[in-house]
């Protein structure tokens, strides 16, 4: 059955104008770039059909006006992102981002598959698609050190370079709202930033290390030896952070564009404050514990999350700045949508 599907895919690819007519027949120029895995990827641009298992890639593509190019998405993106990214409704479901349905992707006959790195790390996907003439690129679009380059790559893939340049400029302006008021102007605040799992955090070896300095924060876990350490509750108490920020994953349903019920967040927040001996921590005693949605903690809207973090740490510097309004303006400009849902708590 799988062999029949692969054969059908080859026929579909061959039947699409300009996809399998050979380099002499396709007038589109070749574009070569280096992806997040360090691999050289070559595609003809603008790409006409692509699939992506990365919801952050899908969000940027929608912002650049290229949603019609996407023919398939992960189940996570379909479930959690299409209320905001309405142009993605009705796209084919590829299954899990970490183990997509290979046969379904082949059946869709894309020119390009865009996946996270290192999920299904090379050559897992390449070995399946390269024989069919389908390119594979690994793009993350959540790391502050690479997101601008990846926006540029997506702009060239889509043939929307001006839109990508405008999007890069908007993100830089958003980040500057924070950095212009913080860097070199404040005493850094000691912060414990917890990940989705209890007692999980990140060190200076993690991709988000730049964001701490940009928001005028000192990471209490900076010197730990691994990128994403799991620490003891007692360790956090001993470190005594001034501010605690916990990231809440969108897939929990408690935060994000589609979230409406605060009851679950109230319970999560109360449980956070009740951890053993946490009443001794300055952040808890001073009411400086916050929940932040993963959608804006990293990815294309990381500038929004950074602004919230900076305001929580340095409220005197941001009295005239409303991060919620900045977020509202962003969604109106790039997605023609009004802000709703729950992104911070309390």
> Could you read off the pLDDT tens digit of each residue along the chain, which spans 346 residues?
445 444 444 444 444 444 444 446 899 999 999 999 999 999 999 999 999 999 999 999 999 999 999 999 999 999 999 999 999 999 999 999 989 999 999 999 999 999 998 777 778 888 999 899 999 999 999 999 999 999 999 999 999 999 999 999 999 999 999 999 998 889 999 999 999 999 999 999 999 899 999 999 999 999 999 999 999 999 999 999 999 999 999 888 899 999 999 999 999 999 999 999 999 999 999 999 999 999 999 999 999 999 999 999 999 999 999 999 999 999 999 999 999 999 999 9
Question: In the prediction, which pLDDT does 183 show?
Answer: 80
Which of 100, 48, 52, 90 has its CA nearest to residue 73? 52
**Tokens linked to 71:** 């023919």
Question: In the prediction, which pLDDT does 24 show?
Answer: 60
Task: Find where tokens 């927040």 sit.
Answer: 269
Question: In the prediction, which pLDDT does 20 show?
Answer: 44
Question: In the prediction, which pLDDT does 73 show?
Answer: 98
For CA atoms 43, 165, 68, 327, give the dihedral sign: positive
Domains and CATH numbers, the chain: 15-160 (3.40.50.1980), 167-345 (3.40.50.1980)
Question: In the prediction, which pLDDT does 19 show?
Answer: 45
Query: How crowded is residue 83: how many other Cβ atoms within 10 Å of its Cβ?
Result: 15
pTM for the model stands at: 0.91
């Amino acid at each position: 059955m799988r062999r029949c599907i692969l054969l059908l895919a080859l026929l579909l690819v061959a039947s699409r104008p300009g996809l399998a007519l050979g380099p002499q027949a396709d007038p589109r120029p070749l574009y070569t770039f280096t992806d997040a895995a360090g691999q050289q990827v070559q595609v003809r641009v603008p790409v006409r059909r692509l699939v992506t298992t990365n919801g952050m890639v899908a969000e940027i593509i929608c912002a650049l006006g290229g949603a019609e190019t996407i023919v398939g998405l992960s189940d996570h993106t379909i479930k959690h992102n299409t209320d905001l990214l309405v142009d993605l409704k009705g796209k084919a479901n590829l299954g899990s981002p970490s183990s997509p349905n290979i046969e379904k992707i082949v059946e869709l006959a894309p020119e390009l598959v865009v996946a996270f790195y290192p999920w299904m790390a090379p050559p897992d996907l390449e070995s399946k698609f390269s024989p069919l003439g389908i390119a594979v690129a690994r793009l993350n679009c959540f790391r502050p050190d690479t997101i601008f380059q990846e926006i540029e790559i997506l702009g060239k893939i889509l043939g929307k370079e001006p839109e990508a340049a405008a999007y890069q400029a908007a993100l830089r302006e958003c980040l500057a709202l924070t950095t212009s008021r913080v860097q070199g102007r404040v005493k850094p605040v000691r912060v414990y930033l917890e990940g989705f799992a209890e007692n999980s955090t990140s060190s200076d070896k993690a991709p988000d290390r730049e964001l701490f300095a940009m928001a005028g924060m000192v990471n209490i876990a900076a010197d730990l030896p691994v990128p994403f350490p799991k620490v003891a509750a007692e360790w956090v108490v001993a470190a005594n952070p001034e501010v605690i920020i916990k990231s809440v994953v969108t897939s929990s349903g408690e935060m994000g564009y589609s979230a409406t019920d605060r009851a679950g967040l109230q319970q999560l927040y109360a449980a956070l404050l009740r951890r053993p001996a946490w009443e001794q921590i300055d952040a808890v005693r001073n009411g400086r514990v916050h929940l932040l949605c993963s959608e804006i903690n990293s990815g294309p809207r990381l500038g929004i999350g950074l602004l919230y973090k900076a305001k929580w740490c340095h409220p005197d510097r941001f009295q005239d700045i409303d991060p919620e309004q900045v977020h509202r303006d962003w969604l109106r400009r790039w997605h023609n949508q009004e802000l709703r849902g729950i992104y911070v708590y309390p």
